[in-house]
Structure formats: C-alpha cells, structure tokens
Structure 1
Amino acid sequence: MAAKRQGDRQPLMHAHLFGEFLMGDDSLRVYEGNELLFASREDRLLPLLKYIEQFAPYHQQVLVFDKIIGNAAALLCVKAACRVIYSPLGSELAINTLDRYRIEYHLTRVVPYIQRIDGEAMCPMEELSLDKEPEEFYELIKDTTSRPQD
C-alpha cells in the first residue's frame, strides 16, 4: 500500500532523485531545491539528528529522502523544517504526524508501525515517540542516540 499527500510541485525531479536514493547506499539525503545539503549512510535516527544539529538552523523547506519514516523520524523531520519526504517504508503513526504538520509525503509501503529488527515488537524509538511533540521528542533523544542500542 502506497501513501501520498498531494501538493508536490516537482514530481518528476523528485522521482528521479528518489530513484537515485533507492539505488544508493545512503540512509538519508536532504536537499534544498536541487542542492544536496546532507547525506549519510549511518542507520537509525543518527543521520537526522546530525542534520538537525549541523544544518537545520540555516535551511527551511527541505526535501528529505529516508530509508524508513516512522513516527520518530517524522517528528524529527518537523524539527528539520522538512517540506517533502520520500521513503520506501513509512508507518501509519508517521502519516498522522506528517498530516498534522502538513508535510507532504510519498511512501512506497505503509505499515501500522515500525518494528524492531527482530520483528517481535514496536521499534523502541517509535514507541518512545508516541504522544510527543517534535521539540519534546528531540530533546528527549538528542543525547541518548550515541549510546549503543540493543
């Protein structure tokens, strides 16, 4: 099941960039217009946190390509002043957040929630992000994500 919130004014260019992203090794890419501002191959939420710390104060209305958009990533995308998100996988929880903050999204596959790697339960960050506002969630995790996770 694919999900799309309408309003993308440059679908062909974005589709081309999304295709390149999917074929590459990056886990996150952030663009302002046609300019690539940030790319990372790191996993989990670390790339988004690094982008927010290093670049977000200087850029608005960015385009984000992320391998997985759960609610945690959606909240961080709000903090990052994101205008449009593309991802091959997103959660219904993320869609609720993106709709609430009027962020356009293009998700290839939608699941109820992001699962842990072992598939047994909800991802800890997805669970931690429930009922949080973007700034509240960012402050909660910005210093904890550098620690090893189970």
Structure 2
Amino acid sequence: MLELELAKRELMKGNFSCVLVKDGEVCYTSVEKGIKPLMLPLIHDKSIFQNMVLADKVIGKAAALLIVFSSIQMVFAETISSEAKKIFEENNIMYEYEEEVPYIYNRVKSDMCPIEKLVKNTNNPQEAFQLIKEFLL
C-alpha cells in the first residue's frame, strides 16, 4: 500500500498522466494523454511494468486490459470506467479510484473514446494489446 500512496502522491505533485512505482521507487512517469503512456513502452518490452503499482488520471477498459496484460499488480485511478472495474475484479487486481463513470469519453466528450470502442467486444488482454498496437502503428 505504501507504493500505491507514493504513486498517487507523485501523480498529483508532478501533474503526470501516469506514475509507476516498484520497490518503493518511481520507475516511470508520463505526461502523454490517452493510452500511449502504457502502450508505447509495452510495444518494446511486454514485461516492462511487471509487478509495478500504477497511479493514472483515467483508466477505461482498454487501459485495464493493458494493465492485466502487463502484470501490474495494483492501481489507482482518478477516473475509472465501470468496465475497467469489472476487468480488475475478474483478474484479482487491487484498485482504488476517486470517480466512476460508465465509460471513457473522447477528448471533446461527444462520444465514447475510440480506443474504448476498439476493445468493446473483447475481454482478452492479449487481443486488446494487438488491437491497440495495430491502431496506433
């Protein structure tokens, strides 16, 4: 739990979009938006986040599936989607959050986020990783 508190504190203090902590140290931070902060490092090394603790501004279903895929063990989200919570519960990932929303919106809040639409019909972390990778590259 101390690592989760450290990740949360750094998320707020540094104005980051996500912070990952392992063994009491901040290992990774990003200010990028969307799924990129998680996805881009995973493309190069699928085990890069293994056993880490994550604090993130927004976690929807797509991010939740990547979290399972990457073996992150604990998560905090400022905003979490209902689908992300289900993914965490099904995969025994501990999580905390501040606000729950039905789904993650696109940047102009006119519709569902395109990455969320992409993974809408899968609960398979490997499949989600491939779909997101193909979409981004």
State TM-score, norm by structure 2: 0.88
2:13 maps to which of 3, 17, 23: 23
Q: Which segments of 5 or more consecutive residues in structure 2 lack a partner in the other structure? A: none
Say whether 1:48 aligns with 2:38.
yes
SS at match of 2:73: strand
What is the percent sequence identity of the aligned residues? 28
One-letter code of the match for 1:117?
Answer: R
Change (3 A) 1:32 1:56: farther
Q: Which residue number in structure 2 is paired with residue 135 of structure 1? A: 126
Q: Which has more radius of gyration?
A: 1
Greater relative contact order (CA < 8 Å, ≥ 6 in sequence)? 1
Q: Which segments of 5 or more consecutive residues in structure 1 lack a partner in the other structure? A: 1-9
RMSD, matched Cα: 1.8
Change (3 A) 1:34 1:53: farther
Change (3 A) 1:97 1:83: same
State the distance in 2 between where 1:67 and 1:80 align: 18
State the distance in 2 between where 1:13 and 1:62 align: 9
| Deviations 1:98-146, CA, capped at 9 Å, x for gaps | 1111111111100111111222221111121123111001111114225
Structure 1 residues 66-81: aligned runs within 5 Å: 66-81=56-71
State TM-score, norm by structure 1: 0.81
